[in-house]
A and B are shown apart, each in its own frame.
Chain A
Amino acid sequence: MVGFNKNIMRTILLASYIILIGLIITGISALFSYLNTGADRSSMLHTEIQKVEQYLPKLNWEPLQNEGRPMDSENLNALQNDYLDAWYVKQIAYKTNKIAGIKDYYTDSARLNLYDFIALNKAKNITIEATTLQHNPTLEFFSEDGQLAVITDRNVIEYKRVYKDETLVLETNELSTYKIVFLLEDGFWRIRHLVKEHTEIYKPENKMVNTDSLNIKGINYYPQATPWNMYGDDFSKDTISKDFKIIKDAGLNAVRLFVQYEDFGKASVEYKKLEKLKHTLDAAEEQQLKVVLTLFDFYGDYSVLNWTLNQKHATTIVNSVKNHNALLAWDIKNEPNLDFKSRGKDLVIAWVDHMIDLVKSLDDKHPVTVGWSNTESASILKDKVDFISFHYYEDLSDFDEAINKMKTEIPNKPLVLQEFGLSSYRGIWNPFGNSENDQMAYYKLAQEKFKTHNLQFMSWTLYDFTEIPKEVVGRLPWRKRAQEHFGFINQNGETKPAFTYISTL
């Protein structure tokens, strides 16, 4: 017995010894190989410069008819990049009152002008958050030796937020014309002279789109298997077509779809995602469904310096699907009012305002709306949108009052209840939750109210989902469980009683 134990002991000792030695060797070799990585030869000279997309305002070069040497695309591209970077470093400098980066893009004497401003603003605790949304440069002159260029940048749209002692005192939109002399120094096109030749306050004029024929009876849609990840690897047009048929057969005429900002590739929209979006729209067209397309889903950073990137994103998407027959309307953002607290109400509204202008400037045929999360916020920017969208998840008993209030505030625009619904979750996290029959009663009552108020509606949502990403409602299980049971069709694919009232009877 003793011998047996001794053998066990020996084996264990030996094995642990081998394991220990193995771990030590692995550790040392990992350290050794890490120390040996050092500078990669190709990276020693820093020849590879990663171009980061940080400032991408809309930029339209006038046809090249400059004096001096004919311009080529490489030089023009270099000039354009450095010019935009010059704006970018200037915006950052005035936002932070620091001079970092200025000297790369302004010559010795020109940068003093910026330093003067920074010193002045720093002393008075003034900061300026600004961006330029559009440039229309004309190349006036390019010198024979390729070292000097002059451009006139007409109708630059500048947006500024001026803060004094961290309080916003002015928000302004300006339309300015600049004349700029560039010198090529150390491989940078640096600004030598900058002269603002003209400026005025900019008020974009948007055409309102006629919404008389708008008659939305719709539903918010995500496929059952891939909610909030509709355009990923599991994208299947067949599934979507089948679902759209269910929706059409149920008597509805519209779906609301979401384009997520990051998922679609932020400023440089991924072609593949766009294709999938188009396939989805095709599927809707085949079923004669119209689509309300919600942009900027899951986007929560409204900072002014990102506006050009947001603008680029929206421009790509709007331009690629604006002529699609299935498109009904643009929804700028889902529930932006939920970000008022964390990002500042005025900033969020300013952002939404600009994005409305942008979308309207790109597409003047389809109406634009904003999906406010409650009835109180619905009147924000009411004069800019073509129809009002709002969400309602509160008790239906207060519904009439809320609607009447809205109607007095916004008498002249169609109202669309863009999201409503009731979760039929009753379980361990909420033992006294609503049953499926409660859900049915809710929808029955809701439809009656829509009839009385002549409301257009889009319910949330077709399916009960099995997995809710944490970005939607957070990690708390009771919220996740509740979110899983908003559908008309349960997780097994069976219709719930509420399905009867999915549309007007």
Chain B
Amino acid sequence: MQIKKTHIIPLILILLSGFAVAQQHEQASTNASVTTQTKYEVGSSIVLKFPATKAVAPLLYCSNSYGSTLISGDRKNQELHYKIPNNISKKTGVINWQLLDTKTPISGNIYITPKAEVATMETYIGPPSIEAGGTDYTMLVVIPTDSLDNPVPNNTTVNANFQFLDSEEKETILTNNLIAFKNINSKKESGRMLVSSESLGINSKEFTINVSAAIPTDFSISATRPHDYADGNQITTFSTSIIKDRLNNIVSDGTFVTFIITNAENNILKTTGTTINGVATSKIIHPDFKDQWRISAFVDGMAESNTITLHYKQVIEDFEVSFLNNNRTIRVGPLQSFMKQMIPDGLQVKLKVFKGDTLFKTLTKTSFNGYANFSLKPAIFENETYNFQLETAGKTKVFKSKKLW
């Protein structure tokens, strides 16, 4: 009760000529009464009092952080009472007032001081995802506010709490410039960090920081395949070792890995994969001719693997070609694989038709049941002599001066 009274007690002051002491900008020429109190706690009721000199109460101009207004006075006994509106007295900061009366208007300032309480903890944290390793950091910014939505005074203590893996830490920070902030550095490990803050008994909610692994370090790759024949049908699977950063944290799922394959003719093939639990896998179909692949993998711009070499053996050593139907049907086959089995459907067979030395037409077929058939239509291939060249599985056969009729 006692405390409340001291809160509410409006201050009455006899303003004598000495009132220059209390922040005034002018010499008071007349006897005016004013509160000597210039500091009020936010939210308290403030009444400014002046001796009534005229019948009509003059207006009081009053301005705070957000705006300005005019207050009409009440005449009580021989005094004028001006009650500062709640919307002004509930915001911290300085209020300047001026009595619009005399020719040298009386004016002054009132300071509204913050309460020593916190009602809400406005907490901002960002960036929400940082890199492990101790150099990257995120920032916790707390704006503690009182029940009237005012920022708290400078040097109010805010406790920042962090939980990460096994550790729980607490650090004390102080408000300055209306806010308190703390840089939170990552640890060596990746994981999720939980952050909260507390000030004067009020706690913030929980915030989560995702500490992801740092950039990957070099890794190794391996390949698995059902057999080492170049049958153009089976699939070779490449996989990486578990890709980790320099502190042994497994890189984030979805890290993009590119496998670059250089074949015997220095042509480049490419296949890609993304990591799950640090391992990226990627598949590619076998070549259909004898080849040698050198494979290395990259996380673009960050890490690379060793180079491995794969050999693919020739499956078709030789193939038969028969000319039927006035040489207009060319049958290639049987095409037989490494166990003399018919090669699986889909082996590419290419027929190049030359007139003399000039290439006239290229026809491409895929094998079906071990055979590929080319039929040369009379509308395109007139009755003439042609040279034929057949290519499949990296083998080539040439037939010169075949006459079509």
What are the residues of chain B within 8 A of A124 when measuring CB–CB?
A: 69-70, 72
B98 at the interface (CB under 8 A from A): yes
Q: Which one of B65, B100, B141, B145 contacts A170 once the chains associate, using CB atoms below 8 Å?
A: B100
Instruction: Judge whether A198 and B178 touch: CB under 8 Å.
Output: no
Instruction: Judge whether B177 and A145 touch: CB under 8 Å.
Output: no
Instruction: Judge whether A201 and B25 touch: CB under 8 Å.
Output: yes
Instruction: Judge whether B94 and A199 touch: CB under 8 Å.
Output: yes
What are the residues of chain A within 8 A of B143 when measuring CB–CB?
A: 181, 192-193
Bound together, the chains give a CA A112 to CA B66 distance in angstroms of 10
Instruction: Judge whether A120 and B85 touch: CB under 8 Å.
Output: yes
Instruction: Judge whether A144 and B177 touch: CB under 8 Å.
Output: no
What are the residues of chain A within 8 A of B100 when measuring CB–CB?
A: 169-170
What are the residues of chain A within 8 A of B317 when measuring CB–CB?
A: none
Q: Which one of B25, B65, B72, B126 contacts A143 once the chains associate, using CB atoms below 8 Å?
A: B126
Q: Which one of A109, A145, A181 contacts B127 once the chains associate, using CB atoms below 8 Å?
A: A145
Q: Which one of A69, A118, A174 contacts B96 once the chains associate, using CB atoms below 8 Å?
A: A174
A68 at the interface (CB under 8 A from B): yes
A199 to chain B, nearest CB (A): 5
Mask: chain A, 98-119; 1 = CB below 8 Å from B; 0 = not: 0000000000010011101110
Q: A120-B87, A141-B181 are in contact. Are A195 and B126 (CB under 8 A)?
A: no
Instruction: Judge whether A195 and B98 touch: CB under 8 Å.
Output: no
Instruction: Judge whether B66 and A114 touch: CB under 8 Å.
Output: yes
Instruction: Judge whether B126 and A152 touch: CB under 8 Å.
Output: no
A148 at the interface (CB under 8 A from B): yes
- The chain B residue with its CB closest to the CB of A179 is B178
Instruction: Judge whether A150 and B177 touch: CB under 8 Å.
Output: yes
What are the residues of chain A within 8 A of B87 when measuring CB–CB?
A: 113, 116-117, 120
- The chain B residue with its CB closest to the CB of A170 is B61
Within 8 A of A (CB), among B48-79: 59, 61, 63-70, 72
A211 at the interface (CB under 8 A from B): no
A186 to chain B, nearest CB (A): 15
Instruction: Judge whether B59 and A169 touch: CB under 8 Å.
Output: yes
Instruction: Judge whether A117 and B66 touch: CB under 8 Å.
Output: yes
A94 at the interface (CB under 8 A from B): yes
- The chain B residue with its CB closest to the CB of A192 is B143
Q: A141-B181, A148-B124 are in contact. Are A113 and B68 (CB under 8 A)?
A: no
Mask: chain A, 173-216; 1 = CB below 8 Å from B; 0 = not: 01010110101000000001111111111000000000000000
Instruction: Judge whether B91 and A164 touch: CB under 8 Å.
Output: no
What are the residues of chain B within 8 A of A90 when measuring CB–CB?
A: 67
A225 at the interface (CB under 8 A from B): no
Q: Which one of A147, A150, A172 contacts B179 once the chains associate, using CB atoms below 8 Å?
A: A150
Bound together, the chains give a CA A140 to CA B137 distance in angstroms of 20
Bound together, the chains give a CA A68 to CA B85 distance in angstroms of 38
Instruction: Judge whether A195 and B69 touch: CB under 8 Å.
Output: no
Q: Which one of A113, A143, A162 contacts B124 once the chains associate, using CB atoms below 8 Å?
A: A143
What are the residues of chain B within 8 A of A150 when measuring CB–CB?
A: 177-179
What are the residues of chain A within 8 A of B183 when measuring CB–CB?
A: 144
A62 at the interface (CB under 8 A from B): no
Bound together, the chains give a CA A128 to CA B68 distance in angstroms of 8
What are the residues of chain A within 8 A of B63 when measuring CB–CB?
A: 160, 174, 199
Instruction: Judge whether B68 and A162 touch: CB under 8 Å.
Output: yes
What are the residues of chain B within 8 A of A118 when measuring CB–CB?
A: 67
Instruction: Judge whether B68 and A198 touch: CB under 8 Å.
Output: no
Q: A68-B139, A94-B67, A120-B87 are in contact. Are A164 and B94 (CB under 8 A)?
A: no
What are the residues of chain B within 8 A of A162 when measuring CB–CB?
A: 61, 68, 70
What are the residues of chain B within 8 A of A193 when measuring CB–CB?
A: 143, 145, 150-151, 178
B138 at the interface (CB under 8 A from A): yes
Instruction: Judge whether B139 and A144 touch: CB under 8 Å.
Output: yes
Bound together, the chains give a CA A335 to CA B47 distance in angstroms of 47
B107 at the interface (CB under 8 A from A): yes
A126 at the interface (CB under 8 A from B): yes
What are the residues of chain A within 8 A of B141 when measuring CB–CB?
A: 143, 148
Instruction: Judge whether A196 and B93 touch: CB under 8 Å.
Output: yes
* Interface residue tally on B, bucketed by range: 35 or more
- The chain A residue with its CB closest to the CB of B65 is A196
- The chain B residue with its CB closest to the CB of A164 is B70
Instruction: Judge whether B69 and A197 touch: CB under 8 Å.
Output: no
Instruction: Judge whether B70 and A201 touch: CB under 8 Å.
Output: no
* Interface residue tally on A, bucketed by range: 35 or more
Q: Which one of A109, A200, A201 contacts B149 once the chains associate, using CB atoms below 8 Å?
A: A109
What are the residues of chain A within 8 A of B85 when measuring CB–CB?
A: 120
- The chain A residue with its CB closest to the CB of B143 is A181
Mask: chain B, 103-120; 1 = CB below 8 Å from A; 0 = not: 000010100000000000
Bound together, the chains give a CA A160 to CA B66 distance in angstroms of 14
B240 at the interface (CB under 8 A from A): no
Bound together, the chains give a CA A141 to CA B137 distance in angstroms of 17
B92 at the interface (CB under 8 A from A): yes
Bound together, the chains give a CA A69 to CA B137 distance in angstroms of 11
Q: A164-B59, A169-B100 are in contact. Are A141 and B151 (CB under 8 A)?
A: no
A275 at the interface (CB under 8 A from B): no
Instruction: Judge whether B59 and A172 touch: CB under 8 Å.
Output: no
Instruction: Judge whether B65 and A200 touch: CB under 8 Å.
Output: no
What are the residues of chain A within 8 A of B109 when measuring CB–CB?
A: 199-200
What are the residues of chain B within 8 A of A126 when measuring CB–CB?
A: 69-70
A67 at the interface (CB under 8 A from B): yes
- The chain B residue with its CB closest to the CB of A93 is B67
What are the residues of chain A within 8 A of B138 when measuring CB–CB?
A: 144-145
Instruction: Judge whether B179 and A114 touch: CB under 8 Å.
Output: no
Q: Which one of A114, A145, A176 contacts B126 once the chains associate, using CB atoms below 8 Å?
A: A145
A229 at the interface (CB under 8 A from B): no
Instruction: Judge whether B126 and A196 touch: CB under 8 Å.
Output: no
What are the residues of chain B within 8 A of A174 when measuring CB–CB?
A: 63, 96
Instruction: Judge whether B139 and A145 touch: CB under 8 Å.
Output: yes
Instruction: Judge whether B67 and A169 touch: CB under 8 Å.
Output: no
Instruction: Judge whether B98 and A170 touch: CB under 8 Å.
Output: yes
Interface hub of B100, B125, B141, B183 (most chain A Cβ within 10 A): B141
A80 at the interface (CB under 8 A from B): no
- The chain A residue with its CB closest to the CB of B107 is A201
What are the residues of chain B within 8 A of A164 when measuring CB–CB?
A: 59, 70
What are the residues of chain B within 8 A of A170 when measuring CB–CB?
A: 61, 70, 98, 100
Instruction: Judge whether B178 and A181 touch: CB under 8 Å.
Output: yes
Instruction: Judge whether B61 and A172 touch: CB under 8 Å.
Output: yes
Q: Which one of B98, B124, B181 contacts A172 once the chains associate, using CB atoms below 8 Å?
A: B98
Give the top 9 A-B pairs by smallest Cβ distance, nearest first.
Answer: A145-B126, A117-B67, A144-B139, A116-B87, A196-B65, A113-B66, A196-B93, A195-B93, A140-B177
Q: List 5 A-B contacts (CB under 8 A).
A: A68-B139, A117-B67, A143-B181, A150-B179, A197-B94
- Give residues in B with beta carbon < 8 Å to A: 25, 59, 61, 63-70, 72, 85, 87, 91-94, 96, 98, 100, 107, 109, 122, 124-127, 137-139, 141, 143, 145, 149-151, 177-179, 181, 183
Known: A170-B100, A199-B96. 7 other contacts (CB 8 A): A117-B67, A141-B177, A143-B181, A150-B179, A162-B61, A192-B143, A195-B150
